[in-house]
Each structure stands twice: as structure tokens, then as C-alpha cells.
Amino acid sequence: MAEVVGSLDRAVARDDGPKVPAAAIPTAERPKTGLLRRIDWSKAGLLVGLAIFTIAAAALYQIFSGITWSEVNNALSRIAWGQVALAFLATALSYSALIGYDLLALRHVGARQVPLPIIAFTSFISHAFTYTLGFGVLTGGAVRWRIYQSHGVKPSLILAVGALTTLTFWLGIATVAAICLLFQPSVLAPLDGLAPGLNLAIGLAVLGGVAIWVIVSALRPRTIRVGEHAMPLPGPGATLGAILVGLLDTVAAAGALWLIMPAGPDAGFMSFLAVFAVATVLGVISHVPGGVGVFETTLILAQPQIPAADMLVSLILFRLVYYVIPFAIACLMFGGYEIRQRRQSVGRIARTIHEIARPIIPRAASIAVFIGGVILLFSSATPEEHYRIAILRGVIPLPFVEVSQLAGSISGLVLLVISYGLVRRMANAQRIAVLLLVAGAVFALFKGLDIEEAIICSIVAGLLVLYKDEFYRQADLFSVRPSFEWILACVVAIGATIWLGFFAYANVDYQHKLWWDFAYNADAPRFLRATLAMAVVAIGIAAYILMHPSRAAFDPATPEELETLVPLISDSTRSDAHLALLGDKRFLLSASGKGFTMYGVQGRSWIAMGDPVAPEDEVDAMVWRFKELVDRNGGTPVFYQVTTGHLPAYLDAGFSLAKLGEEAWVDLNKFTLEGSEGRRLRQARAKAERSGASFEIVPATEVEAILPELQAVSDAWLDEKGNKEKGFSLGFWSPDYIRRYDQAVIRQDGRIVAFANIWRGADRQEYTVDLMRYLPQGPAGMMDLLFIGLLAQAKSEGFAWFNLGMAPLSGLPRHRLASLWSRVGSFVYKRGDRFYNFEGLRAYKDKFKPDWRPKYLAFPGGLALPQILMDVTGLIASSPRRALPEEAS
């Protein structure tokens, strides 16, 4: 047993009512003067308890110091686990009997409105707290105050209940101890050194005192005053009820320990009950929480015939059965009660904690799953506990044990692999992890009753299920390559598992026959087979990843899907909307269906081409819509060549911006070939015309007739430049694509030597060209003639602007405090002429006196920019092959 619920050391009264129970001894009887008045008796009690505990601890040390670990293991092996189960039942009976103390006290003070289930609930929690933690006023008393007050019991009556519970407990336990002394007066002789007759006299004296109290309280009920409140003391009915409750409680608690005690010579249960009752009383008097040390010392000294190792194991198990487990259950019950009482507050706090934890859940889950995998691997590499295998032998057939060992190690390996997918919030990684963790928990039990591993795997699986909404991305598990650090961690974990296994079985004589040794205690052979299975699975996963590379992009839209976009493209004022018709992109429609975002996928980068093609009031929403799509698929969202018109939308969506260059826009209202401003352009046109070149527009309806000539020019241009077709952000040769548009052509002697397909934006806002090709041996000045003719044609058609296209890397700041990207881009712009004529292209377009407008790359920020630029380059280079698979083959 343990110390009781409350302490009746002193009473404290204030004007606003008492806060703790008053002393059982009236204040008038206490000494008023002298040294005794100056002593703080509560602290003196603590000092006495500390002294008793120190003495008991010293005695226990002397008793147990000679015990070896092997003796403890042997004692543990002699425990009958069926008896332990019966001890749990006896514990339940003891705590059920304790309800009587609270029931008697509540009925005695008139608090009959509290229902019996609430009394039982409160009694169990308060006694479990007090028995384990001690300090009954602060533990069990606080529990009573919290629960009984919510059921209408006044604070003064709750204080009275605590005091009466303490008093009735003492009446009960003292009577039980006295009865035991009457029947077994010689049992305590080894403990107190008194003659049996004297022990008998002590028992009679205690029983006599109780009998006198019963008679006196029956003749004249007694009360005790606590501040301004009068508390009736127990009468004959309450006293007899307390004796009965104490008897039931003590017998059941003693039975719990009795059942765990080792078999051997003893003096019978009544003798043990007497020792147990006295040990309980001494433990309570010591004021040590749970009577730890004092209780054990009393039992050991009173029963010297029981070996010390057996006694130690039995007492530890009793502490676990009677104290620790009920305390854990009480904590859960009280926590559930408090949550139920504060549902709204707890719900609000839980939601707040959930929102705070959401950003770290994927990474925390990934680490937890990785650790779970390591635990399963390490478990497969280490020997099982022999006593657990002994239990398994009679329950689980050997084939299940062998298969569980193999399956557990494979599950651990796969958990290492898929844990990286949890960082990426992948739904399939979450589902597979939950399945493997649950399976791992089962395998851990089947292969060696590894309860600890099963609990860990179950907890991690439960957390993954609880936060399953955080794993929503539908990307392929192997579409994202893990980082080098993660691969290294997996290799280290696998290597450590193999090393641990060979270290654990260093003394095993490795022979070929070990592979075929199947037995419950054949740990080393199971390790070898598990290691082989793990290696085979690891090689298989690696081979699958190598043979199943992530798709560079989704399949482009079908021709039928493209045709549905034609009306939206025709209605757009942006000429680059026509890039959608190249056939190398996918599309995300707006919620209204009036706009779209065109994109391609390269590696992990989902790259949208330009701003969304949509009405102005829908662009912001489409930026978010595209980012959500990419997020669900575990990619990196990128917008390539966005304009300044919607930069706030990208910034609000969390993107960073990197300047790509500037685009040349010619104001056609200011463009002219007349006067001094147009003199240089007139001269360039005249020079080209003198060489036999001429400019004309071929309508789309007539392009089919000149298609072979156009293809010959295109092929010659590609051969001369040594280039392959590029796409995505610019056009490439595709007959279906070329047929859609009017073509501006340059002829020499009737032969086409240059051409460009024409894009026109809606509302006559923008006029531009896309695919431009020319014969390397064409006449001088033919490209000047082409652009001059296009500008004149656009102006004659009433367009406002002519878009000459972008000059890459131009206009980037060169300041020493500029971003690293700007400084690198500026350096390449100045020094990269051997790769691309950056400055020459800018100078050529400058002669048309354009307005320069910046274009940007919108990306998530951080260190991802180099990889994103590589992905953009790869997408541009590979787009024609995706759109024209037959030609590519």
C-alpha cells in the first residue's frame, strides 16, 4: 500500500474560508508557549520521513548488494505469468474496495448528489495519484476538488471528504493490522523483536480503542470544527464500514503481492497479511511517496526465509502491477476528463498546434520512418531474447518466425528508401510507409516478441495516418531522385546493420550449412538469410530505378485539345499565346475556361511559358492554380519569361524573380521610313532590293504550295548553324504549325531565300514573328529587308506594337551589390560572344529604336536557380522531340 490521501497535521483558516483540512487535534489542546510552539511540525514530519527512508534505503542496499544479475534472471524465469495476471485482478479488486472510503465520506457529510460512477472514477484517480506520487493534499486532494466541485459539492464539504477519507483509512488499516496481530502474534517477532504476547497485547489495545470509539460515537456524535465549518466525525456505521473497506482493500492488495511471490516455504496467507498490513502502516507513517523503501524493507526483514533475488523481482513486479500501471491509466483517464471539460479550448489549442506543426510534419515523419526502418534492420541483425523465444516456441510455428525475420528486414530496407518521399509530401509514400510499419510491427512480434519495436512502428504509423492530409502529392515515388545525403544515410544504415550482425555473431563458426539451419534459437542463420534478402531487394530497387527513369515531361496535349484552345488564342492580345499550338506543351485551364497556362515538365521543374493567357482579372488566380497543381505532384513551379504587368501576383505567391533579359518593342505609331529618321532603313532596304531581293506576305491559305521551299530553307539553315531544333519558348519546323500562319518571305529571282511566320495579337495590339529561317548564301541585307517589310506591313494593318523579341541577358545590373545571378549574367553577356552573339543581337535590334521591356524568371528561390536553368535549357532542347515523336525517331 502507500501513504494516504490527506494529512491531518494542522488546520488553516482564513476569513474567506479554509484551504486545507484542519488538524484532528483541536487547536486549544496544542501547547501555546515554549520551544514546541516554534517547531514547524509539518517540516519535522518530512525530516522524520527522510530519515526513515534513508535508513530503509541503507538496509535495502545491504540486503541486495550481493545479488548478481544472473540470480535476478533466474528469479524472473521462475515467475508464473499466469499468477501475474491474477495479481492484476487482485489489484482491480483493491482499487474497487477503495471506492468505499469516498462513498462513506460523501454520504457522511450529506453530499448524496454525486452518482456512484463519478465517485468510483474520482476514487480510482485520486488514490492512484496519491499512492504513486505521495503528498495526498496536493495530488489526490486536488483531484477530488476538481471533480467533486463540478458536481455541486461545496468546497468546505470537499475538504471534509478529504479529511474523513484519511480518518476512515486509518481506522480500517489499523483494525486490519490489529486483527492480524491477534491471529498471528509471532509473525512480527523477527521484525520488531517483541514477544508474541506483547504483539498480541498491542493488537488487543488497538481493537479496544476502536471499540471504545464505536460506543462513544454511538452514544454522542462528535464533531470537529475547521475554521467556521463543523465536520461530523465518523459514527459507528461509518467506522464499521471503514473497517470492512480496509479489510477488503488490504486483503486484495496483499493478495496481489502474494500471487507474485515465489513458491517456497511460508507461514500461510494470514501470516503474510499481517506483515503486509504492518508494512503498509509503516510506509504511510514514513511519509515517503508510495512507502518506497520502508515497505520493502519491512517485508524483507519479516520474511528472511525468502531468497533476496526472488523478493527483489517480486517487489518490482508488484510496484509495476499495483502502482505504475494504475497510475498510467489514471493519468489517461484524468487527461480525458480534462479534455472533455474543455472541448472548445482543447480543440482550439489542438488546431493551433496542428497549424504550427504542419510545416515540419513531412520532414519529421520522414526521419521517424527512416528511424523505424533502421530499428527493423538492427533487430534482424541482433540475437533475440531467449525467454521470449521460449514463449514463442509454444505459440508461433517456426516457419512464421523465419518468414517474419526476412520480411522484417525487407520492410526496414524499403522504409529507408521511401522515407525520402515523405519529405516531398507524396501520398503513395505515406500509404506504403503505413502498410510497412504495420507489417513491421507484426513481424517484430512474430520473430521474437519484440514488443518495443512493435510499439515504435505502431506509433509512427499512427502519426502518419493522423496527418495523412499532409501527404497529398500524386507524383510517382521514383520521379524524384533523393539527395546525396539521403543516399549516404541509407548506405550507412545498411552497412551498420551488416557490421552489427557480424559483430553480434563474431564467435559463430560460419559454414555453408548455416544457410539451411532452421530453429527457434538459430539467430545467426536467420541473420545471414535476412542479409541476403536485403541485398537482393536493394539491388532490385536500384535496378528498377535505373530502368525506370522519371519521365522528362508529361505527354503533350493532343491535336483535339489544341483545337479547343484556338478561340482563346485568337481572343488574346498577346502574340506569344500562339506558342500553345506548337504541340509540345500541356495546359491548365482557368476556372472559368476563358484562359490557360501552358507548361512543360523537365526533371522536377514544371515550367510555365510566360504569364497565364487569360483575362486580366483571372491571371492572379491562375498563378496560384498552377502552383497548387505543381505542389500536388511534388514538383518545382517555374514561370519562364514573365512580364512586369503581373509581378505582384508572383511575389504574392512566394516566388523570387531573376531577370532574363529585355524584349524590344517598336512603337508603330512612331515608326517611319520617311525623312531623316528613316534614312538608314531606306538605305538598307534599297541595298537588299539591288541584290535582287523582294519582300512579300504569303497568306496561310497559300502556304501549302510553298511548303517544300520553306522546308528546304529551314534544313539549310539548321545544317549551316549546326543546330538541332529547339522549342517551347520559340517555334520549330512543323508542317502543321507552319500551315496555320501567314508567312513573310524574301525571294531572290523568284526563289525563297528567307521566311518568317507571322503572329498577330487580338485588338491589333501586337504583331511579331516566330520561326525565322534563311539561306546562308542568300543576298546581303535580306534580314533587314524582312524586318523593314514586316514593320511596314504591321503599321499598314493598324497594329500598335511590333515585338522584335528578347535580347537574352541584356539590361542586367552590373553593380557590385547586385545579386549573384545578375553579376554572372552580366559577365556572360559581355564575355560570352564565342557561345552566342549577345551584344550583337542587342545592337541589331537597337537600330529600330525600340522600347526595352524586362522579362523575368519566377521561381521558388533559394539555391534551386542553377538546376531550374538547366531544366529550362533541357526543356527547350527536347520539346521538338516530344511534339514530333515520329520525326524524332
C-alpha cell at 26: 483541536
Residue with cell string 530553307: 713
The tally of CA atoms less than 13 A away on the side-chain side of residue 675 is 4
Give the CATH number for residue 745.
Answer: 3.40.630.30
297 and 424 both lie in a single domain: no
The pLDDT of residue 221: 64
Q: How buried is residue 305: exposed, middle or buried, by Cβ count under 10 Å (0-12/13-18/19+)?
A: exposed
The pLDDT of residue 193: 60
420 phi and psi angles, rounded to 5 deg: -65, -30
214 and 110 both lie in a single domain: yes
Torsion of CA 332, 336, 339, 343, to 10 degrees: 150
Assess if residue 27 is contained within a domain: no
Assess if residue 111 is contained within a domain: yes
Contact 532, 861 (CB under 8 A): no
Contacts 24+ apart (CB under 8 A), 58-63: 59/297, 59/301, 60/293, 60/296, 60/297, 60/300, 63/297, 63/300, 63/308
Assess if residue 197 is contained within a domain: yes
The closest of 503, 523, 383, 393 to 446, measured between CA atoms, is: 393
What is the C-alpha R_g of the chain?
44
Assess if residue 677 is contained within a domain: yes
The pLDDT of residue 829: 66
User: How far is the CA of 575 from the CAs of 176, 193, 257, 572, in angstroms?
Assistant: 99, 109, 89, 7
Give the pLDDT means over successive 10-residue stretches in the chain (889 positions).
35 34 39 49 52 60 59 66 83 86 76 81 83 66 76 70 70 74 67 69 79 73 61 69 79 84 64 76 66 71 69 80 86 80 64 66 83 83 72 71 80 84 79 87 80 84 82 65 73 82 73 68 76 81 65 68 90 91 90 91 89 91 89 84 91 90 93 84 87 92 93 90 85 90 92 94 92 88 90 93 90 76 73 69 88 93 84 87 56
Question: Which of 311, 341, 371 corresponds to the end of one domain?
Answer: 341
Question: Which of 746, 773, 799 corresponds to the end of one domain?
Answer: 799
The pLDDT of residue 850: 93
CA 581 to chain centre: 44
Distance, in Å, from the CA atom of 29 to the CA atom of 311, rounded to the nearest integer, reads 45
* Element holding 757 (H helix, E strand): strand 751-760
Contact 601, 552 (CB under 8 A): yes
25 phi and psi angles, rounded to 5 deg: -90, 125
Beta-carbon contacts of residue 17 (< 8 Å; ≥ 6 apart):
155, 156, 227, 228, 229
333 and 371 both lie in a single domain: no
- Name the region of 601 (left: φ>0; alpha: ψ -120 to 50; beta: rest): beta
389 and 320 both lie in a single domain: no
State the residue range of the domain holding 162: 68-341
Assess if residue 467 is contained within a domain: yes
User: How far is the CA of 839 from the CAs of 231, 262, 680, 813, 856, in angstroms?
Assistant: 101, 95, 20, 15, 19
Furthest CA-CA distance within the chain: 143
Assess if residue 415 is contained within a domain: yes
SS3 273: helix
Contact 670, 869 (CB under 8 A): no
**What DSSP state is assigned to residue 12?**
B
Which pLDDT tens digit goes with each residue over 452-493? 788 888 888 888 888 887 777 666 666 556 666 777 888 888
What is the residue type of 595?
G
The closest of 91, 93, 131 to 5, measured between CA atoms, is: 131
Q: How many CB atoms lie within 10 A of CB 341?
A: 12
Q: How many CB atoms lie within 10 A of CB 831?
A: 10
157 and 206 both lie in a single domain: yes
Strands (E), 636-750: 636-642, 656-667, 693-698, 743-748
417 and 490 both lie in a single domain: yes
Task: Please report the DSSP string for 700-733 in residue order.
Answer: GGGHHHHHHHHHHHHHHHHHHHT-----SSS---
430 and 492 both lie in a single domain: yes
203 phi and psi angles, rounded to 5 deg: -65, -45
The pLDDT of residue 286: 63
168 and 276 both lie in a single domain: yes
Beta-carbon contacts of residue 806 (< 8 Å; ≥ 6 apart):
641, 660, 661, 662, 663, 664, 855
Distance, in Å, from the CA atom of 320 to the CA atom of 318, rounded to the nearest integer, reads 5
364 and 335 both lie in a single domain: no
Distance, in Å, from the CA atom of 54 to the CA atom of 824, rounded to the nearest integer, reads 75
The pLDDT of residue 57: 61
427 and 331 both lie in a single domain: no
The closest of 44, 253, 259 to 131, measured between CA atoms, is: 253
Assess if residue 753 is contained within a domain: yes
Domains: count for the chain: 3
287 and 382 both lie in a single domain: no
Distance, in Å, from the CA atom of 87 to the CA atom of 254, rounded to the nearest integer, reads 10
Q: How many CB atoms lie within 10 A of CB 797?
A: 12
Question: Which of 486, 519, 547 corresponds to the end of one domain?
Answer: 547
Assess if residue 95 is contained within a domain: yes
Contact 321, 84 (CB under 8 A): yes
Residue with cell string 511460508: 266
478 and 447 both lie in a single domain: yes
Distance, in Å, from the CA atom of 617 to the CA atom of 621, rounded to the nearest integer, reads 8
Distance, in Å, from the CA atom of 70 to the CA atom of 53, rounded to the nearest integer, reads 28
User: How far is the CA of 356 from the CAs of 345, 364, 462, 472, in angstroms?
Assistant: 16, 13, 19, 18
The closest of 432, 421, 429 to 480, measured between CA atoms, is: 421
Residue with cell string 530453429: 519
